[in-house]
Amino acid sequence: MTAWSLQQLLASLHDDIQQRLETVRKTFGHPGTKGDASEKVWLQLLQTYLPQRYQAASAHVVDSNGTFSQQIDVVVFDRQYSPFIFHYEDQTIIPAESVYAVFEAKQAINAAQVAYAQNKVASVRQLHRTSLPIPFASGTYPAKPLIPILGGLLTFESDWSPPFGLPLETALGEGDGGGRLDLGCVAAHGHFFLNQSGDAYEFITGGKPATAFLFRLISQLQFSGTVPMIDVQAYARWLGA
């Protein structure tokens, strides 16, 4: 009887993701089709392995002022405490208060794609988020501080050689804090994340990058806590608009 192997299970998870991304890149000729397929691979990874309190979808994010983000390839959001998620004509709209993390999914990482992802992330972080006091049996807890929204970039390979060198570090350091990328994965080469001090990136090459990225994301989500209590009435005012 063959013994179970945790090492093999974790390795196989990465190998499956990398193989699917590589097949997409080599097989599909149309850029839009290729992009949609890559996005689906990453979405399925997160939809399958994130704890059920989180969901992942391609979506727009909206705030109570009626401002919308750009279209985001992968939004990780709360479903346990979110009172409404809109679905209309295959489009998903998520209230800003429900968002934990946003990612762009691309074929390859380069300076242009890093800047593009930073712009997308900033379009979510700049949205207004409400937070109400939380009632309990003897009174109310103060309104929770807003949790930081994680941002990142997910790709199959890199246009740089070596993939994790000064050009990537420079690209990640450009732009303001609103578009900062906190973590990302280049499935064929490694993953990266902003260290806890927030002043430098760490680049991890080799290993099983897709699995390592998944574990890193789950770990950072654990420390994010729970999304704030949304002010539903702030959205309800648009019923009379």
Name the residues annotated as catalytic. 73, 104, 106
Read out DSSP for the chain?
Answer: -PPP-HHHHHHHHHHHHHHHHHHHHHH--SHHHHHHHHHHHHHHHHHHHS-TTEEEEEEEEE-TTS-BPPPEEEEEEE-SS-S--EEETTEEEEEGGGEEEEEEEEEEE-HHHHHHHHHHHHHHHTS------EEETTEEEPPPPPPPPEEEEEEEEESSSSSSSHHHHHHHHSS-GGG---EEEETTTEEEEE-TTSS-EEEEESS-HHHHHHHHHHHHHHHH-------HHHHHGGGG-
Q: Residue 181 carries which side chain, given as an amino acid letter?
A: L
> Running DSSP on this structure, what letter comes out for residue 161?
S
**Please, are residues 82 and 59 in contact by the beta-carbon 8 Å criterion?**
no
